[in-house]
Amino acid sequence: MQQENNKNVAERNIPGMMSRGQRFAEVQHAENIKGTLKRVFSYFVKEKVMVFGMLAVVIFGTLCGIVAPGIQSNAIDIIAKSRTGSLGATLLLMSAVYLIYSGSQLLQGLISARLSQRIVSRMREEFFGKLMDLPVKYLDTNSHGDVMSRMTNDIENISTTVSQSLPSLFSGTLTIIGTVAIMLWYCWQLALLSFATVFLTVLATKILSKNVRKYSRRRQSLLGQLNGTVEEMIAGFHTVAAYNHQDITAKDFCSTSDSLTKAGIKTDIFSGVMGPVMNCISNIGFVIIAAFGGYFSVNGLISVGVISAFIVYAKQFSRPINEIAQVYGQLQTAIAGAERVFIILDEENENKSGEPMHDAKSAEIVFKNVDFSYISGQKVLQDFTITVPSGKKVALVGATGSGKTTVVNLLMRFYDIDSGDIYINNQNLRDISRDEIRKNIAIVLQDTVLFSDTVENNLKYGKDDTTPEEIEKAAEMSRCKEMIGALPHGYDTVLTGSGENISGGQRQLLAIARAFVADPKILILDEATSNVDTRTEKAIQDAMHSVMQNRTGIIIAHRLSTIRDADIIVVMDKGRIAETGNHDELISQKGKYYDLYMTQYAGIET
């Protein structure tokens, strides 16, 4: 089967398609935090050895960080002669604890980074695998940019949270608990006085973080719009220049850029202020400790070393509070992103069950009283009945929106019919597995999709086990052998940018050759010559004629020159069959086909 990973033409028929700008939608708070967290933790369970290892390192490092100031306090008291002991041994122990603490911080970073990449890798693989199993309808009715954003930005947010935020959350919580306990143990009066600054810290963090998140979200949204403007301008620069829209485009860009600059300045201001404000509050705490600690020391309640330890503990106590406040915002973003990812993972897979297609060289297609609508109540096909004899070519013509491409979508089972029946060799299409259907049908679309790979691999896409001889034959029959031979490296030439380094006609010929390699029973040509010049059209017509020999063919065309020799021409109008017959019969009837033909070739005004 030649399965085109292409923006399906059916999108033209589906109202309410999501706009391109929706890919830049802001990440909101998750609706089901508990359920989302439960699913995220399921990924951690699969890495439980690494998770327990990281927790052990975090706990050990936090304990070292809590114990170290106490040892430092002992050293100062020994120097002040208010405590007995070996100063050298105490200093050596303090150095060892601080060294172990630094090593544990390094190890914690390494483990968390590896853990995040393993979890994100598994999530990406599941997500991409899910995309391969989704129905075509899902990708037709959802913004491609939004789906890509979930694959990249949302999963990357999860990665950042796992590698940075979670270790900070664990170590910060343990540090706060341990620090509070040891401060209360040393001197509960001074500890309570020190905790007074916590309220200032929480209040300042809440106010500043709220503004940082607000303007940061706006900055990200505007950055997405700015990137989209640049992307569109570069992709469509010929159109911009042709319509002399440079000044207008630049004005729009500058307007968005100015808004982005303002949002960026406000984000940086509130982010930048947070550090000095926290330092100020910390300094207030140091003043409280110094003043009251000195008073308590003079009265013999505590030693000088304890005052030194309290200063360190006060710093340790305020730092994790600030970190946890910042981590909270990151966690909200990551949970919301995870929920968006899980929404797609929970989508129903395309049902590929069914029986094999009857093994027959012929392929008669019958549409019987078929009705279909993309949106309930808005029929695209109505009572559509037609027989395509085996080995014959049937052409579908009609105005845009008449339902021609929908016929192809239903035959490929990209969508299922509302009522009626479709048969291939008297076998109901509903009973045949989708894989079997697509293995026996090849399609050449108007917008040719080639992949950034060699010419040979692109031709083999329709049939992985094809031989070099079969590829050579397909290239010759599709009239592209000489063209391939003229490429820099022949069949080994790498097509860059999905074939941007060759012409549109050459891409179309390669698509026809790929269809020939697939060796299908049924071949569909959907506007295969609409984007090429007359000379190239002739070459493509010759190639199509060769490829369609002894195959059942369905041709969709606006250029009537491509279907004059079709066995049956079906004229469609608003989802119904208006006329059928061959070219001569339809011309003699002087109906809709006659009007279309004369419009193209006799210059009659419409």
The letter for the amino acid at 418 is D
Among candidates 479, 459, 477, which has minimal Cα distance to 468? 459
For residue range 194-223, list pLDDT tens digits in order. 777 777 777 777 787 777 767 776 776 677
CB atoms near residue 230 (< 10 Å):
12
For residue range 544-587, list pLDDT tens digits in order. 677 777 788 888 877 777 788 888 999 988 888 888 998 888 88
Asked if the model's pLDDT at residue 606 lies above 70, the reply is no
Residue, of 296 and 28, whose pLDDT is higher: 296
| pLDDT band with cut points at 50, 70 and 90 for residue 370 | very high
Return the pLDDT at 340.
82
Question: What are the angstrom distances between the C-alpha of 531 and each of 13, 171, 308, 571?
Answer: 21, 62, 79, 22
Kindly report the average pLDDT of the chain as a whole number. Answer: 79
Question: What are the angstrom distances between the C-alpha of 526 and each of 216, 410, 422, 503, 562?
Answer: 46, 14, 20, 19, 11
Return the pLDDT at 285.
76
**Dihedral pair phi/psi, residue 423, rounded to 5°:** -125, 145
Rounded mean pLDDT of 275-291?
Answer: 77
Return the pLDDT at 534.
65
Which tokens belong to 40?
Answer: 């995220």
Which tokens belong to 593?
Answer: 């086909």
Report yes or no: 36 and 52 within 8 Å, Cβ to Cβ. Answer: no
- Residue in the structure block whose two tokens are 């544990």: 104
Return the pLDDT at 523.
87
Asked if the model's pLDDT at residue 421 lies above 90, the reply is yes
Among candidates 144, 14, 136, which has minimal Cα distance to 411? 136
* Range of lowest pLDDT (47-61, 158-172, 254-268, 341-355): 158-172
Residues 6+ apart with CB under 8 A from 180: 191, 195, 317
Percent of the chain residues past pLDDT 70, beyond the cut: 87
| pLDDT band with cut points at 50, 70 and 90 for residue 482 | confident
Q: Please state, in angstroms and rounded to a whole number, the distance separating the CA atoms of residues 211 and 325.
A: 13
Which tokens belong to 54?
Answer: 């990281």
Report yes or no: 325 and 209 within 8 Å, Cβ to Cβ. Answer: yes
For residue range 489-513, list pLDDT tens digits in order. 888 888 876 667 787 778 888 888 8
* Range of lowest pLDDT (178-192, 291-305, 321-335, 578-592): 321-335
